[in-house]
Amino acid sequence: MEQRGVRPNFHTYASVLDTFFSLRSLKGVQRVHGVIMKLGFDTESVLSDRLFNLYYVLGDFASASKVLVVLSLRSVALWNRMITDHLRRSDKTQVISFFMNALREFQSVDPVIFSGALRACTGNSAFWPLVQQIHGKIIRIGLTADPIVCNPLIDLYSKNKSIDSAILIFDEMCSKDNVSWVAMISGLSQNGLGKEACNLYFQMHQSGIIPTPYVLSSILSACTKTELFDQGMQIHAQSLKWGFCAETFVGNALISLYSRSWSLESAEKVFYEMSNRDGVTYNSMISGYGMFGNSERAIFAFKKMQSSGFKPDSVTIASLLCACASIGAIQKGRQLHSYVLKAGLSSDYIIEGSLLDLYVKCADIDTSCQLFDSTKKENVVLWNVMLVAYGQMGDLSESFNLFSEMLVAGMEANQYTYPSILRTCTYYGELDLGEQIHSMTIKTGFQMNIFVCSVLIDMYSKCGVLERARQILNRQTEKDVVSWTAMIAGYAQHEHYVEALKTFEEMKFHGIKPDNIGLSSAISACAGLKAVSQGLQIHGQACVLGYSTDLSIGNALVNLYARCGMIMEAYSAFEANEVRDDVSWNALISGFGQSGHYEEALVVYKQMSQKDIKANLFTYGSAVSSSANIADIKLGNQIHSKMIKTGYDMEIEAANSLVSLYAKCGSIGDAKLVFNKMPERNEISWNAIITAYSQHGRGKEALQLFEHMKEEGLKPNHVTFIAVLTACSHVGLVTEGLNHFHSISKEHGLVPKPEHFVCVVDILGRAGQLDRAQRFIDEMPFTPDSMIWRSLLGACTIHKNVEVGEFAGHRLLELEPHDSATYVLLSNLYAVTRKWECRDRMRQVMKDRGVKKEPGLSWIEVKNEIHSFFVGDRLHSLAEAIYEHLEELNKRAVDIGYKQDKYCLLQEIEQEQKDPTAWIHSEKLAVSFGHMKLPPEVPIRVIKNIRVCTDCHNWMKFISRVVRRVIILRDSYRFHHFEAGDCSCGDYW
């Protein structure tokens, strides 16, 4: 063209440039560019734009930038192209520079430029002030309704935790596209507002907008995080309808949803129906197996992942290690550890934490320490795991040392560090240390953290500091189910049953759904109050919430029925449990024991032993307690033997129950032996042994033990003083008893309870100081109850004081008109004072009012069989032999001076009956039978349900002398040890 003399123009060079571009010849473009510059065509905007685009596409960004500088007129499209391309290359700083230049060149900027600039600010907090400036510019030029600009703004505000601003932008948009809905739903989900995200999704659906697969994956993730599993399954159904389940990231979200909702079968079904899987798919499935502790399936999925060509990452290995840790599969965990070392992943902080967690949960503390020491210790998670490890070892001092070392190393404790050390303090009851950690949480700003608060509430609740636990709960701005549950469980554990149920109702009022622990604690509170109907209502709520088969709730129901004495219902609830653990059995045993069904409790204990179910400390304690209450010393000895074999006899709670067992069975020597062997004693231990000596008439020894208790630094409580005052009453120590009563408040800072006042009345009454006892009653700070008057009336019967006795009796009849004991005591009073008409009139009043006297009953165990007797009993198969033997014993007793006290009989007519055996008291029959059947070296142990009369007491003294045997009688008030003609009570009872 030049050879022919035709001069080319800029259109010619534009065509030549296009030719070289089609050939992808950068050198050709550069040569043409040189000619253009020589001829002065570089100022032509057409050629300049063309050159800029060609250099940019061919990758010569330096030449493109030079062309951009000399351009006299840069179009909006050119800026958009520059911003878009630099965004694609993640050159965000250059994007911001282009955006600022574009703002200077154009008064009205295209929304795409704003959108590009906003996207460049994503993920860099340094650009946050610029975002707010850009937002201000958008408002000024009126682009607040444009989705192109608003969508990235919503995303930015959401990611910077300014969700309220994001919501405001979204609400002001006139038209919303799919991207708008996705941005807002994702933003709500990322900020923990899963419920709001679900509500917004359903609004989008109702408005007719079909969601994209990305929206579905985002909302499914929100449902998973907030445990809205029912809504997640609805969205799954919609995904199937629209055909989006084939999308990989939707399938991944569904696998996570079903894994977290404990529906592993559904997760597997989604997994196997997916046509396209990626590394996230396998990680999600492996993580699901890990949550279920299914290490076999997790490793199978891991191998399948490798065979599919996907390389496992740190998340994969961590999930596998989690699966092994949850079931204690340490060998497989070690194999994974070897793989980690070969793959060069050992320094990954996620894997380090998972490996350490594996060895800790598998109780391989040595390897845990070695692994921990080999790390750089820059990850706070590692420190937290080691704190848990030392907590499991029971080494509180080492836990605290590690915690201190962590702080010295410059590591900042997080929301999981404090709970780890606080849980250890809770487990070992170290309240003082726990309070120090609490102070540290306040100094470091974690005192309002929901995780820390829930553990603090749990610690204070279990340590009995319920007021402080409640204060923390009340101060919480964000209350979760864990905090409420800890408070309810704390109240129930410390027998504040009413408060537990009030807190349970308050939790529901705040819209918090109770979990299985909260529900079972509430049912346990109902058991404590014997509120069966309310317990059943809570059980109904548990079924509605999906906990119908939960073992903890089932065990709580067993305990509820058992403690309320509903034997058949308790067995039904027990059988309804698909899986029964030791708690299930213990609930039956302890529940029956607490409701007074001691024989039934021991039947269950025997069944448990026959099924080879391992008993624990609680089992033995409940069984021993039931044996003690029915004075079954033989079974008690058997249980004691098993406790010795298992080592539980040295546990302080078990030893306490054994002391009570032997004391209630009359073996005060064995009770003392158990007490002396205890490696450690608490207030309950001392109370048990002091009470034992008191009940057995050894009051002075009981008071000596009380002094020893104080010397060991243990503080006496209300129960201690009841035992001490009773001891004084049994041996007639009036002055000592009154001094101890006054010391309750003066020396020990306790407020005397009505039971203590009853003891003082008994002390004065038994000593014959009835007027003084009556004055003491008049001066009491509360209205006397039936226990006070009954004690005074009993003393009046002993000392034959009709005037004071009638006064006390009338007060008793006003308070308890249907209690047979009052009528019997008054009848006895009239009988011993020979006021037969008054006695007969009282008997008639009793008859007219339909009040029946509790029949006297005595029982004795011979050859593993309980033999019961009542007054004049002739129903026993050996009745004739028993009466013949009794007659022989009576003759021998009379020969050495025994005389029958006829005034102990309640009816004068009984003395005139032709058959004198009709009024023989039950304890005489029991002793006679015992003497016939028991070996000479075995003490005769008899239990009587009411108080022994004077005649029977005197008769047993003579019988112990003539047969030269020990007779131990336990009546409703105390023990009597008869030996060689004397009684341990010294005839003072």
903 has a pLDDT exceeding 70: no
Give the confidence band of 64 by pLDDT, cuts at 50, 70, 90: low
Distant-in-sequence, close-in-space partners of 157: CB < 8 Å, separation ≥ 6: 163, 165, 166, 169, 187
- CA dihedral of 103, 106, 109, 114, whole degrees rounded to 10: -20
Higher pLDDT, 902 or 576: 576
pLDDT at position 235 is: 82
Measured CA to CA, the distance from residue 277 to residue 271 in angstroms comes to 8
376 has a pLDDT exceeding 50: yes
- CA dihedral of 102, 104, 109, 113, whole degrees rounded to 10: 30
pLDDT at position 493 is: 92
Measured CA to CA, the distance from residue 857 to residue 969 in angstroms comes to 13
906 has a pLDDT exceeding 50: no
Q: Is the pTM of this model over 0.75?
A: no
pLDDT digits (tens, 9 = 90+) for 824-851: 889 889 988 889 889 889 888 888 888 8
pLDDT at position 907 is: 46
Measured CA to CA, the distance from residue 235 to residue 220 in angstroms comes to 7
Closest alpha carbon to 982 in 971, 966, 973, 970? 966
> Which residue do the tokens 């009454």 mark?
765
* Other CB atoms within 10 A of residue 259 CB: 25
Residue type, 145: A
- CB of 975 closer than 8 Å to CB of 948: no
Strands 865-870 and 857-862: antiparallel
Phi, psi of 943 (to 5 degrees): -115, 135
Give the confidence band of 787 by pLDDT, cuts at 50, 70, 90: very high
Give the confidence band of 159 by pLDDT, cuts at 50, 70, 90: confident
> Which residue do the tokens 């008993």 mark?
615
Closest alpha carbon to 816 in 789, 781, 843, 797? 789
pLDDT at position 104 is: 56
Higher pLDDT, 85 or 628: 628
3-state secondary structure of 942: strand
Distant-in-sequence, close-in-space partners of 377: CB < 8 Å, separation ≥ 6: 383, 409, 411
13 has a pLDDT exceeding 80: no
Strand partners, 940: 967
pLDDT digits (tens, 9 = 90+) for 536-579: 999 999 988 888 888 999 999 999 999 998 999 999 999 988 88
pLDDT at position 9 is: 64
Give the confidence band of 804 by pLDDT, cuts at 50, 70, 90: very high
- Poorest-pLDDT segment among 452-466, 472-486, 763-777: 472-486
pLDDT at position 765 is: 94
Helix or strand holding residue 940 (H, E): strand 940-944
Measured CA to CA, the distance from residue 569 to residue 533 in angstroms comes to 13
Higher pLDDT, 416 or 20: 416
* Other CB atoms within 10 A of residue 93 CB: 12
Strand partners, 870: 857
Give the best-scoring range by mean pLDDT among 253-257, 703-707, 948-952: 703-707
* Tokens linked to 453: 């608060």
Give the best-scoring range by mean pLDDT among 52-66, 273-287, 864-878: 864-878
Phi, psi of 574 (to 5 degrees): -65, -45
- CA dihedral of 270, 273, 277, 280, whole degrees rounded to 10: 10
SS3 content of the chain, % helix, strand, coil (to 5): 70, 5, 25
Higher pLDDT, 655 or 286: 655
Backbone conformation region of residue 546, classed left if phi is above 0, alpha if psi is from -120 to 50, else beta: left
137, with CB counted inside 10 A (0-12, 13-18, 19+), is: middle
Question: Apex CA 789: angle with CA 783 and CA 791, to 5°?
Answer: 130
Helix or strand holding residue 867 (H, E): strand 865-870
Measured CA to CA, the distance from residue 224 to residue 500 in angstroms comes to 31
- Expressed in angstroms, the distance from the first to the final Cα of the chain is 142
pLDDT digits (tens, 9 = 90+) for 265-311: 888 888 888 888 888 888 888 888 777 767 778 778 878 887 888 87
Residue type, 699: G
pLDDT at position 908 is: 42
Give the confidence band of 393 by pLDDT, cuts at 50, 70, 90: low
The order of strands in the sheet holding 967-970 is: 865-870, 857-862, 940-944, 967-970, 975-979, 982-983
* Tokens linked to 240: 């199937």
% residues pLDDT > 90 (the chain):
38
Strand partners, 968: 941, 977
pLDDT at position 38 is: 63
425 has a pLDDT exceeding 70: yes
pLDDT at position 914 is: 45
Averaged pLDDT score across all residues of the chain: 83
Once rounded to an integer, what is the mean pLDDT over residues 615-633? 90
Once rounded to an integer, what is the mean pLDDT over residues 344-357? 76
Residue type, 393: M
Helix or strand holding residue 418 (H, E): helix 417-427
- Poorest-pLDDT segment among 150-164, 258-272, 386-400, 800-814: 386-400
Distances, alpha carbon 353 to alpha carbons 360, 383, 399, 422, in Å: 10, 9, 18, 21
Distant-in-sequence, close-in-space partners of 342: CB < 8 Å, separation ≥ 6: none
pLDDT at position 801 is: 94
pLDDT at position 132 is: 66
Once rounded to an integer, what is the mean pLDDT over residues 496-519? 93
Once rounded to an integer, what is the mean pLDDT over residues 902-920? 53
pLDDT digits (tens, 9 = 90+) for 693-752: 999 989 999 999 999 999 999 999 999 999 999 999 988 999 999 999 999 999 999 999
Once rounded to an integer, what is the mean pLDDT over residues 655-668? 93
Residue type, 733: L
The long-range contacts involving 677-680, CB below 8 angstroms and separated by at least 24 positions, are: 678/650, 678/652, 679/650, 680/652
Rg (CA), the chain: 43
**Buried residues in 304-342 as b, exposed as e (16+ CB within 10 A):** ebeeeebebebbbbbbbbbbbbbbebbebbbebbeebee
* Tokens linked to 306: 């490798």
Once rounded to an integer, what is the mean pLDDT over residues 66-94? 58
Helix or strand holding residue 28 (H, E): helix 26-39
Higher pLDDT, 526 or 426: 526
3-state secondary structure of 655: helix
3-state SS of 554-613 is HHHHHHHHHHCCCHHHHHHHHHHCCCCCHHHHHHHHHHHHHCCCHHHHHHHHHHHHHCCC
pLDDT at position 975 is: 92
773, with CB counted inside 10 A (0-12, 13-18, 19+), is: buried
> Which residue do the tokens 């409420």 mark?
484
14 has a pLDDT exceeding 90: no
495 has a pLDDT exceeding 60: yes
985 has a pLDDT exceeding 90: no
Higher pLDDT, 855 or 61: 855
Give the confidence band of 429 by pLDDT, cuts at 50, 70, 90: confident
Residue type, 373: D
3-state secondary structure of 977: strand
- CB of 947 closer than 8 Å to CB of 978: no
Once rounded to an integer, what is the mean pLDDT over residues 108-132? 64
Angle between helices 879-895 and 922-933 (to 10 degrees): 100
% residues pLDDT > 70 (the chain):
84
Higher pLDDT, 408 or 11: 408
Give the confidence band of 388 by pLDDT, cuts at 50, 70, 90: confident
Phi, psi of 539 (to 5 degrees): -60, -40
Phi, psi of 606 (to 5 degrees): -65, -40
- Poorest-pLDDT segment among 85-99, 275-289, 406-420, 971-985: 85-99
- CB of 498 closer than 8 Å to CB of 482: no
